[in-house]
């Protein structure tokens, strides 16, 4: 007989005890598995809200642990009550005890608990009335399935790039978010909360990094076939390094071997390479493409082999991408385009 089966003639009290112990054991095992899954989910620090690298993310992490602690207390109370109801004495309780249980357990405790959560949550809301001028303003336009990024300089001019975000550590960055097609959502978990990018509307989000490093931003709103492949590296620099990087991004591209193959293949019809090809604006800006970390908005690491695969079969690598395949080009022309792009630094 299976150990979980109970003979038909087992006394009711013994049966209830065995059932209670089985139920309690299953609940403990399930809880252990759930806690293990939560713990493992936080191992990847580059995209973990539980490893904050920004002021807002730290506040959100504190709220998470506060709510987790409250939830653990509630869980223990109710689990203890359930175990007591199954295994405890069956002596009847007075009507006065029942009234107190309903009042304190169903009115007082939930009211105090929800009020505490409300107070803590409201304290995290941004105070725009006290907000100063940001140290950096970044315009982010979401498209299926990539990010158009432009840094606003002190003179009001824009330094355009794509699919990679760089920020100075300890500075307040203000993001002006919009979209050209469907609703997307801009989210860098280690730095702070997310905000939607909506067509025809500009939403404003402020983040303040507090730790240098490389993190991962994502689109957090389902936006189509390659939604899961719409990411972007986030590099937080020391202030001086960021200024040097931004000045380098401001410069036009330097001429590099392979430009003739790039032009002959019609790449300039969709992509801007400042100083070389100024007309295309359909796809991402490629002016300093060779200095980036990934291809296709975080889809692949930027390597020579991956870039050649991307040119051959972009739709296979990233379904729904609007870039055409260059598989029919002669190998030497495609290799020349790869070398040209890698030299754009």
Higher pLDDT, 335 or 89: 335
Average pLDDT score over residue span 156-174? 95
CA dihedral 113, 119, 124, 129 (to 10 degrees): 160
In this prediction, residue 77 carries a pLDDT of: 85
Q: Residue 127: which pLDDT band, with cuts at 50, 70 and 90? A: low
The secondary element (H helix, E strand) that includes residue 233 is strand 231-237
Which of 344, 320, 340 shows the shortest CA–CA distance to 262?
340
In this prediction, residue 171 carries a pLDDT of: 95
Q: 3-class SS at 79?
A: helix
**Above 50 in pLDDT, residue 3?**
no
> How far is residue 296's CA from residue 305's CA, in Å, rounded to a whole number?
14
In this prediction, residue 194 carries a pLDDT of: 94
In this prediction, residue 4 carries a pLDDT of: 46
Q: Residue 23: which pLDDT band, with cuts at 50, 70 and 90? A: low
**Above 60 in pLDDT, residue 42?**
no
Q: What domains can be seen in the chain, in order of their start residue?
A: 12-122 (no CATH), 259-342 (2.60.40.420)
In this prediction, residue 6 carries a pLDDT of: 46
**Above 60 in pLDDT, residue 143?**
yes
pLDDT, tens digit (0-9, with 9 covering 90-100), for 189-230: 999 999 999 999 999 999 999 999 999 999 999 999 999 999
Q: Do residues 190 and 46 make contact, with C-beta atoms less than 8 angstroms apart?
A: yes
Higher pLDDT, 169 or 29: 169
In this prediction, residue 104 carries a pLDDT of: 86
**Above 70 in pLDDT, residue 235?**
yes
In this prediction, residue 14 carries a pLDDT of: 53
- Whether a cis peptide bond, with omega within 30° of 0, leads into 169 is no
């Amino acid at each position: 007989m299976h150990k979980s089966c109970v003979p038909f003639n087992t006394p009711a009290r013994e049966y209830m005890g065995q059932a209670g112990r089985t139920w309690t054991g299953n609940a403990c095992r399930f809880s252990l598995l759930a806690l293990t899954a939560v713990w493992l989910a936080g191992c990847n620090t580059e995209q973990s809200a539980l490893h904050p690298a920004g002021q807002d993310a730290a506040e959100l992490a504190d709220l998470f642990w506060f709510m987790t602690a409250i939830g653990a207390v509630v869980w223990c109370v109710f689990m203890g009550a359930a175990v007591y109801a199954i295994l405890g004495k069956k002596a009847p309780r007075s009507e006065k005890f029942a009234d107190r249980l309903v009042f304190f357990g169903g009115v007082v405790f939930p009211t105090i608990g929800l009020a505490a959560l409300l107070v803590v949550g409201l304290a995290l809301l941004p105070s725009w009335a006290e907000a100063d001028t940001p140290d950096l303003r970044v315009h982010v336009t979401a498209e299926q399935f990539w990010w158009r990024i432009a840094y606003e300089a002190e003179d009001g001019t824009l330094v355009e790039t794509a699919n990679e975000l760089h920020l100075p550590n300890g500075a307040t960055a203000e993001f002006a978010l919009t979209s050209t097609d469907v609703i997307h959502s801009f989210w860098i978990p280690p730095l702070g909360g997310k905000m939607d990018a909506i067509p025809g509307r500009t939403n404003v989000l402020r983040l303040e990094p507090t730790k240098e490093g490389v993190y991962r931003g994502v689109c957090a709103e389902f936006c189509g076939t390659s939604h899961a492949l719409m990411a972007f590296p986030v590099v937080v620099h020391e202030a001086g390094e960021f200024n040097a990087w931004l000045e380098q991004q401001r410069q036009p591209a330097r001429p590099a071997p392979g430009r003739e193959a790039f032009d002959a293949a019609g790449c300039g019809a969709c992509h801007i390479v400042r100083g070389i090809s100024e007309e295309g604006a359909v796809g991402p800006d490629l002016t300093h493409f060779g200095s980036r970390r990934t291809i296709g908005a975080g889809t692949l690491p930027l390597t020579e082999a991956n870039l050649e695969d991307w040119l051959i079969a972009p739709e296979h690598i990233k379904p729904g991408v609007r870039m055409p395949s260059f598989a029919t080009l002669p190998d030497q022309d495609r290799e020349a385009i790869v070398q040209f792009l890698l030299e754009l630094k």
